Amino acid sequence: MNAMDTKVMDKAIQWLAPEFDQETRQQVQWMIDHDPESLSESFYRSLEFGTGGMRGIMGPGTNRMNIYVIGMATQGLCNYIKKNFPGRDDLKVAIAHDSRNNSRLFAETTAKVISANGIHAYLFESLRPTPELSFSIRHLGCQSGIVVTASHNPKEYNGYKVYWDDGGQVIAPHDEDIIKEVEKIQSIKEVRFEGNPALIHALGQEIDEAYLSCIASLSLNPEINSKYHDLKIVYTPIHGSGVTLVPAILKRYGFTNLMNVPEQDIPDGNFPTVVSPNPEEKAALNLAIEKAIATDSELVMASDPDADRVGIAIRNRDGSFKLLNGNQTGSLLIYYLLKNWSEKGKLKGNEFIARTVVTTPLFEDIANEYGVKTYVVLTGFKYIADLIRNKEAKEVFIGGGEESYGFMVGSFVRDKDAISSCAMIAEVAAWAKDQGMTLLDLLESIAVKYGLYKEHLISIVRKGQSGVAQINAMMEKFRSEPPKSLGGSDVVTILDFSSSESEDMLTGQKVKIDLPKSNVLQFVTADGSIISARPSGTEPKIKFYFSVKTKVNKQSELVQAESILDSKIKALIADMKLDQ
């Protein structure tokens, strides 16, 4: 037995102790006796906080999501909160959860541990969207917040996202320091599982109303919404928490012709009507699009299980539906916001928008026209939240987004928000209609004005312990042997966010990147193509992002231009020599 096997076995044997429930002990014993591979995967490491917190497959083990891992994480968090806010007896933590299997159990376990540590636990009475959890932290004056969710991951996953007192997900140093506190806990005997009911408080309609009122205040053209109140919209929560608030906010925005997909309105952690509850994937919207075609609707919107991300489909001229990627949806929102802020005299010169390093530069092209600053941050909305916190005394955040279908308007929520995004997307559709355009017309007019951008994403999955090593090896090879040209164009700049350096390949000059270190590489070519490589912080995969651009003079040129860009992307992929 090698050192790793010994370490795994030692950990597993600890989980046979009486402190663990009988079902857990039986499952661990079965793996010891019959399934050494699963045993290794379950115990070879402890789950860590990545870009989205702690996320993993449910089951027994230190590398799995279960009440014991959650208990230890929560105990570590409680210890950390007390260290950061010493001497206070009014500490508060807000807790929410989505529709996933075990989410309520995990949320209740979290509340019990928090209350057992003398901290007030504010637990939502039932499933609620992640952005509402972010909102509630600042609204209630909490020191931290937790949402139990695995976002859009497959049904076997669950997760645990931690937020700080600003309503944003924890970033350095808090994330690393919380982990240090968790690692100090050597046994579940150190976890206070017996809750104090007097310190557990239910959250419900009162927070819903406060949150919805803030979203309602974002509307820029309520009279246009009223004029086109009968705009036909199909919305699906894909069995998730969006069902609690999206229909309500669309009604509050004035839209009266909302269609649903009844079988997907039912919260269900098995997600029985889809292969994956991910609005990035076309199949997840199939039922909603079928409903839209049958009802002659103009817009389809779908949120993921914790309702922080939204995917949309819009009408083509032949009556079929076109699914937009996150960059396209975000560009529609940014254009609408900036144009209307400008026309209504709301721009005072200190406003800004934000995007992540792998999101389309089109955001900047639009913002530059209106004299609005664009900040570029690392992948993850927690960095946009941190940006807002650092700027809010002097600058005003209008909106921002990332390519992975996450958008945020206004700053009362400090995370991506499908609830407010659905409301604003519907408003954009009504506004476009008032301009004599469909959403497709508006999207194409933006391409003519600023240039046609085309993006493509490739995700390579490498599961398990060996997968981590393979992904690391891929990144190391790109660093040690970077491509000299891609798609027939020389690589002129390499940005390595791990070393925080940008290198000009023509002069050799290196410039510091003023962002936290992150395992991301970008190659920029002479023709403006951008290729990014980024291992996921929450899933066993490495992502490659391709962004290309060309100018078009009129809408009739778009089809040919898209074809040219598709060919360019294929050439870039071939030159990257990705082993799929």
Which helix or strand (DSSP H or E) is residue 244 part of?
Answer: none
Mind listing the pLDDT tens digit for each residue in 145-176?
A: 999 999 988 999 999 999 999 999 998 889 88
Q: CA 360, 366, 371 angle in degrees (round to 5)?
A: 130
Q: What's the CA gap between 59 and 26, in Å, rounded?
A: 12
Residues of the chain above pLDDT 90, percent: 90
At residue 323, the pLDDT reads 97
At residue 580, the pLDDT reads 45
Laid out side by side, the sheet with 299-303 consists of 258-260, 233-236, 299-303, 310-315, 321-323
Please state the three-class secondary structure of 377-392 as a single string: ECCCHHHHHHHHHHHC
Q: For residue 394, which phi and psi values (nearest 5 degrees)? A: -125, -20
Mind listing the pLDDT tens digit for each residue in 464-491?
A: 778 888 999 999 999 999 999 999 999 9
Q: Which of 103, 151, 331, 532 is catalytic?
A: 151
Q: For residue 139, give the 3-state DSSP assignment.
A: helix
Sort strands 92-97 and 144-148 into parallel, antiparallel or unpaired. parallel
* Mean pLDDT of the residues in the chain: 95
CA-to-CA dists, residue 43 to 40, 59, 105, 256, angstroms: 5, 11, 22, 52
Q: For residue 110, which phi and psi values (nearest 5 degrees)? A: -60, -45
Q: What's the CA gap between 237 and 506, in Å, rounded?
A: 50
Sort strands 521-525 and 530-535 into parallel, antiparallel or unpaired. antiparallel
Tokens read off for 100: 């996933």
At residue 48, the pLDDT reads 75
Burial of residue 326, with CB atoms counted within 10 A of its CB: 0-12 exposed, 13-18 middle, 19 or more buried: buried
Region 30-47: mean pLDDT is 92
Mind listing the pLDDT tens digit for each residue in 521-550?
A: 999 999 999 999 999 866 789 999 999 999
Q: What's the CA gap between 373 and 110, in Å, rounded?
A: 40
Instruction: State the DSSP code for 170.
Output: P
Helical H segments across 304-434, by residue range: 326-343, 362-369, 381-391, 418-434
51, pLDDT greater than 80: no
Active site residue 151: yes
Q: For residue 283, give the 3-state DSSP assignment.
A: helix
Q: What secondary structure does DSSP assign to 249-281, as a single string?
A: HHHHTT---EEE-GGGSS--TT-TT-S---TTS
Instruction: State the DSSP code for 194.
Output: S
User: Cα 64 from chain centroid?
Assistant: 21
At residue 579, the pLDDT reads 57
Mind listing the pLDDT tens digit for each residue in 134-143?
A: 999 999 999 9
Q: For residue 434, which phi and psi values (nearest 5 degrees)? A: -70, -25
Residues of the chain above pLDDT 70, percent: 98
Burial of residue 393, with CB atoms counted within 10 A of its CB: 0-12 exposed, 13-18 middle, 19 or more buried: exposed
Sorted by where each starts, the structural domains of the chain and their CATH numbers stand as 45-203 (3.40.120.10), 230-450 (3.40.120.10), 452-576 (3.30.310)
* Sign of the alpha-carbon torsion through 365, 528, 279, 292: positive
104, pLDDT greater than 90: yes
49, pLDDT greater than 90: no
User: Cα 537 from chain centroid?
Assistant: 11
52, pLDDT greater than 60: no
Mind listing the pLDDT tens digit for each residue in 312-333?
A: 999 999 999 999 999 999 999 9
Q: For residue 379, which phi and psi values (nearest 5 degrees)? A: -65, 130
Q: What's the CA gap between 433 and 435, in Å, rounded?
A: 5
Mind listing the pLDDT tens digit for each residue in 407-442?
A: 999 999 999 999 999 999 999 999 999 999 999 999
Residues 6 or more apart whose CB falls under 8 angstroms from that of 322 comprise 313, 314, 315, 316, 440
Tokens read off for 271: 């997600």
The more confidently predicted of residues 273 and 380 is 273
Residues 6 or more apart whose CB falls under 8 angstroms from that of 560 comprise none
Mind listing the pLDDT tens digit for each residue in 203-253?
A: 999 999 999 999 999 999 999 999 999 999 999 999 999 999 999 999 999
Q: For residue 540, give the 3-state DSSP assignment.
A: coil
Region 286-298: mean pLDDT is 97
Q: For residue 492, give the 3-state DSSP assignment.
A: strand
Give residue 76's identity as a one-letter amino acid code. Answer: G
Q: What's the CA gap between 119 and 105, in Å, rounded?
A: 19
Q: What's the CA gap between 174 and 169, in Å, rounded?
A: 10
Model confidence at 46, pLDDT cuts 50, 70, 90, reads: confident
